[in-house]
Amino acid sequence: MLPWLSACYVAATLSAEYGREQALGSESISNEADKCVKCGLCLAVCPTYSLLHVETESPRGRVALMQAVVDAGEAAEGRLAAHLDHCLSCRRCEPACPSGVAYGALMDDMRALRFEQSSLPTRGVGRWLRAMLTGRPFGWAVGLQRILPALGRWGRAVKRWPRGTFSNGMNYVGDESSERPLVLLFPGCVSRHLDTALLDDTEWLLKRLGFRVRRSDELRCCGALHRHAGDGSRAERLETANRAFFERDGVHAVVSIASACAAHLHETNRDVPVFEVSDFIARHLPESGLKPGTLELNVLLHVPCSQQYPGPGSDPLERLLTSIPGVNWHYPESGFGCCGAAGSYMFREPEMAARLLQPLLGEIRAAAVDCVVSTNIGCALHIASGLDDATPVRHPISLLVEALIVRNEG
Q: What is the pLDDT of residue 193?
A: 81
Mark which of 89, 119, 149 sits at the end of a domain.
119
Please give the Cα distance from 321 to 311 (Å, whole number).
Answer: 18
Amino acid (one-letter) located at 60? R
Element (H, E) at 262: helix 259-268
C-beta neighbour count of 32 within 10 angstroms: 20
Domain membership flag for residue 31: yes
Amino acid (one-letter) located at 122? T
The residues with which 253 forms a beta bridge, in sequence order, are 183
The residues with which 185 forms a beta bridge, in sequence order, are 255
C-beta neighbour count of 363 within 10 angstroms: 15
Please give the Cα distance from 322 to 334 (Å, whole number).
Answer: 22
Please give the Cα distance from 372 to 396 (Å, whole number).
Answer: 9
In 3D space, the residue among 135, 97, 150, 111 whose CA is nearest the CA of residue 23 turns out to be: 111
In 3D space, the residue among 406, 255, 387 whose CA is nearest the CA of residue 324 turns out to be: 406
Q: Which residue has the higher pLDDT, 377 or 161?
A: 377
Domain membership flag for residue 231: no
Residues sharing a CB contact under 8 Å with residue 115, sequence separation 6 or more, in sequence order: 122, 123, 229, 230, 231, 232
In which domain, by residue range, is 378 found?
291-409
What pLDDT digit, counting tens, does each position of 143-163 carry? 555 445 445 665 666 555 565
C-beta neighbour count of 147 within 10 angstroms: 16
Domain membership flag for residue 59: yes
Please give the Cα distance from 270 to 247 (Å, whole number).
Answer: 11
Domain membership flag for residue 11: yes
Q: What is the pLDDT of residue 152?
A: 63
Element (H, E) at 371: strand 371-373
C-beta neighbour count of 155 within 10 angstroms: 17
Mark which of 94, 119, 144 sits at the end of a domain.
119
360 pLDDT exceeds 50? yes
Q: What is the pLDDT of residue 79?
A: 84
265 pLDDT exceeds 60? yes
Q: How far is CA 351 from CA 86, 127, 138, 368, in A?
A: 10, 20, 31, 26
Query: Which CATH number do you get for residue 36?
Result: 1.10.1060.10
Mark which of 119, 138, 153 sits at the end of a domain.
119
Query: Which CATH number do you get for residue 386?
Result: 3.40.50
In 3D space, the residue among 76, 56, 77 whose CA is nearest the CA of residue 4 turns out to be: 56
Q: What is the pLDDT of residue 130?
A: 52
Domain membership flag for residue 154: no
**Which residue spans within 230-326 are E strands per DSSP?**
253-256, 274-276, 297-301
Structural domain count, the chain? 2
Domain membership flag for residue 324: yes
Candidate from 124-138, 229-243, 283-297 with smallest mean pLDDT: 124-138
146 with 260: CB under 8 angstroms? no
Domain membership flag for residue 193: no
CA Rg, the chain, in Å? Answer: 22
In 3D space, the residue among 97, 18, 51 whose CA is nearest the CA of residue 352 turns out to be: 51
Candidate from 141-145, 173-177, 348-352 with smallest mean pLDDT: 141-145
Domain membership flag for residue 65: yes
